[in-house]
């Protein structure tokens, strides 16, 4: 890790003058469609801290959207990626292969759920992994339909936009979308009409009924779900939902795909979130946390499914770039050595404890409608007090108040009313508590 002090420090307003100058250049040069949560320009980052160009040090509760779980400058990632950079930057695995790619696939086979024979293919982004999971499932089943869920998020390419639930900002004006994508209900406990305790059974029955009656199970190539839904609001499907859907897929020859791009690699306190209910997916998509900040993604799954695509049918110039693979091997090494699953569980304990206290003790605590998530993937859903009416303005105001105090937090949710916390798993407990103090103060002022 870079020797960046693990302390919050504010020396200017947030953003400071140098960030403001860069932001002016950015507005003139960068397309408006690419947004930023907080226009603070980064100078260096590591552990639980982001240091900006003005010398401010922010506490990081975002990890670059669940990417830098090992920190943004983890020693093993930097060491291995630097060594690889000096050896060679690229050959294209489809032209002349290299060991790092194979080693990452071996690690994926070992770490993902299930003891069946597994194979992997590597890509650059999460969306690309999802696209390829669909290609592979279609090649294997010789069927076309793809089933996705309410509140799901899968990316910004044409197919994955179509698979994503939320219109604004992801889809508006960017259609038409690919055909043969169907959306069914998910067990969103907090908002399930007959109560969270019924959500698992009722939502899975509804989803299965829609698949059989409206699509026809025999036409479905793949059912794709995030075991904890990320952008949609950190929704853990109510217990029983995932097992019922996975069983239905198995009984009907449908490829069950877990999109673990956000929830995977120790984020929820397990290597993969689907382990929580003992789910063994046929295919699993990974990205984000896999490579400590370098762009890498993967599809991993049953060897017979992965091998269904003909030779030359999968790939891409940069897929499994050697520097990114070296970064992944460094990140995985760090996760094992520092027991980042254990760290994520501890983060959950601290965060949920403090958030529950805020909910019960603060005068406006009933604005926190729900506290949820697992490991270091924790969120609060904000509502108009005494109702379940989503309060996106409150989430936005809280995020803004945290930002100006030097705590980077993100929002999410179909209704934009969820404040989410994704600290690097290596964050120190003092920083974690200081971040929670800032949230508490922001809340008290809301």
Binding site for ligand PLZ (CB under 6 A): 65, 125-127, 130, 153-156, 226, 230-231, 259, 261-262, 287
Shortest reach from residue 66's CB to ligand PLZ, in Å = 7
| Structure token pair of residue 169 | 């900002």
Calculate the CA dihedral of residues 279, 285, 287, 289 and round it to 10 degrees.
10
Shortest reach from residue 65's CB to ligand PLZ, in Å = 5
Shortest reach from residue 62's CB to ligand PLZ, in Å = 11
Q: Characterize 15-41 residue by residue with b for buried, 16 or more Cβ atoms within 10 angstroms of its Cβ, and e for exposed.
A: bbebbeebbeeeeeeeeeeeeeebebb
| Structure token pair of residue 350 | 């601290």
Contacting residues for 167 by C-beta, under 8 A, at least 6 apart: none
Which of residues 22 and 65 has its CB atom nearest to ligand PLZ in the complex?
Answer: 65
Which of residues 77 and 422 has its CB atom nearest to ligand PLZ in the complex?
Answer: 422
Rounded CA gap, 40 and 11, in Å?
13
Contacting residues for 270 by C-beta, under 8 A, at least 6 apart: 276, 341, 375
- Sign of the torsion angle spanned by Cα atoms 81, 87, 93, 98: negative
The helix (run of H) or strand (run of E) holding residue 149 is strand 145-149
Shortest reach from residue 262's CB to ligand PLZ, in Å = 4
Nearest to 326 by CA among 112, 83, 135: 83
Which of residues 291 and 383 has its CB atom nearest to ligand PLZ in the complex?
Answer: 291
Which of residues 56 and 68 has its CB atom nearest to ligand PLZ in the complex?
Answer: 68
Helical spans, DSSP H, in 49-123: 63-66, 75-87, 99-111
Shortest reach from residue 153's CB to ligand PLZ, in Å = 5
Nearest to 66 by CA among 429, 438, 422, 440: 422
Shortest reach from residue 97's CB to ligand PLZ, in Å = 24
* Residue 90 CB coordination number (10 Å): 12
Which of residues 120 and 125 has its CB atom nearest to ligand PLZ in the complex?
Answer: 125
Contacting residues for 363 by C-beta, under 8 A, at least 6 apart: none
Shortest reach from residue 257's CB to ligand PLZ, in Å = 11
Shortest reach from residue 232's CB to ligand PLZ, in Å = 9
Which of residues 15 and 155 has its CB atom nearest to ligand PLZ in the complex?
Answer: 155
Residue 213 gets which letter from DSSP? Answer: I
- Sign of the torsion angle spanned by Cα atoms 101, 105, 106, 107: positive
Which of residues 127 and 340 has its CB atom nearest to ligand PLZ in the complex?
Answer: 127
Which of residues 262 and 411 has its CB atom nearest to ligand PLZ in the complex?
Answer: 262
Shortest-Cβ-distance residue relative to ligand PLZ: 126
Which of residues 16 and 64 has its CB atom nearest to ligand PLZ in the complex?
Answer: 64
Shortest reach from residue 288's CB to ligand PLZ, in Å = 7
Find out whether the peptide bond into 391 is cis, omega within 30 degrees of 0: no
Shortest reach from residue 84's CB to ligand PLZ, in Å = 21
Which of residues 122 and 431 has its CB atom nearest to ligand PLZ in the complex?
Answer: 122
Three-state DSSP class for residue 257: strand
């Amino acid at each position: 890790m870079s020797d960046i002090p693990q302390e919050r420090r504010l020396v200017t307003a947030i953003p400071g003058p140098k960030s403001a100058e860069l932001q002016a250049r950015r507005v003139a040069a960068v397309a408006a469609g690419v947004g930023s949560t907080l226009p603070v320009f980064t100078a260096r980052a590591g552990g639980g801290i982001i240091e900006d160009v003005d010398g401010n040090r922010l506490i990081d509760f975002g990890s670059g959207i669940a990417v830098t779980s090992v920190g943004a400058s983890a020693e093993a990632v930097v060491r291995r990626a630097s060594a690889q950079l000096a050896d060679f930057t690229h050959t294209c695995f489809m032209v002349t292969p290299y060991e790092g790619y194979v080693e990452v696939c071996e690690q994926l086979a070992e770490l993902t759920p299930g003891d069946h024979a597994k194979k992997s293919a590597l890509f650059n982004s999460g969306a690309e992994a999802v696209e390829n999971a669909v290609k592979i499932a279609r090649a294997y089943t010789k069927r076309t339909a793809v089933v996705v869920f309410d509140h799901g998020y899968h990316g910004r390419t044409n197919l994955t936009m179509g698979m994503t639930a939320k219109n604004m900002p992801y889809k508006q004006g960017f259609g038409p979308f690919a055909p043969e994508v169907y959306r069914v209900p998910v067990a969103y406990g907090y908002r399930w009409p007959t109560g969270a305790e019924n959500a698992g059974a009722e939502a899975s029955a509804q989803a299965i009924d829609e698949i059989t009656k409206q699509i026809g199970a025999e036409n479905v190539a793949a059912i794709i779900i995030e075991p904890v839904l990320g952008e949609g609001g950190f929704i853990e499907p109510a217990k029983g939902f995932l097992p019922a859907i996975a069983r239905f897929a198995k009984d009907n020859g449908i490829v069950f795909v877990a999109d673990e791009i956000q929830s995977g690699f120790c984020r929820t306190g397990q290597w993969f979130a689907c382990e929580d209910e003992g789910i063994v997916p046929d295919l699993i998509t990974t990205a984000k946390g896999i490579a400590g900040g370098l762009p890498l993604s993967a599809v991993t799954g049953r060897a017979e499914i992965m091998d269904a695509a003909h030779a030359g049918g999968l790939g891409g110039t940069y897929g499994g770039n050697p520097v990114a693979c070296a970064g992944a091997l460094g990140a995985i090494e760090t996760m094992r050595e520092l027991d980042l699953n254990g760290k994520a569980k501890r983060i959950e304990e601290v965060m949920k404890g403090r958030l529950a206290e805020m909910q019960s003790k603060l005068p406006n605590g009933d604005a926190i409608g729900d506290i949820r998530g697992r490991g270091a993937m924790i969120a609060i859903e904000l509502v108009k007090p005494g109702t379940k009416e989503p309060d996106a303005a409150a989430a936005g105001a809280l995020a803004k108040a945290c930002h100006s105090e030097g705590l980077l937090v993100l929002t999410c949710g179909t209704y934009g009313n969820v404040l989410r916390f994704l600290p690097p798993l290596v964050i120190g407990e003092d920083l974690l508590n200081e971040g929670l103090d800032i949230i508490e103060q922001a809340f008290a002022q809301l």
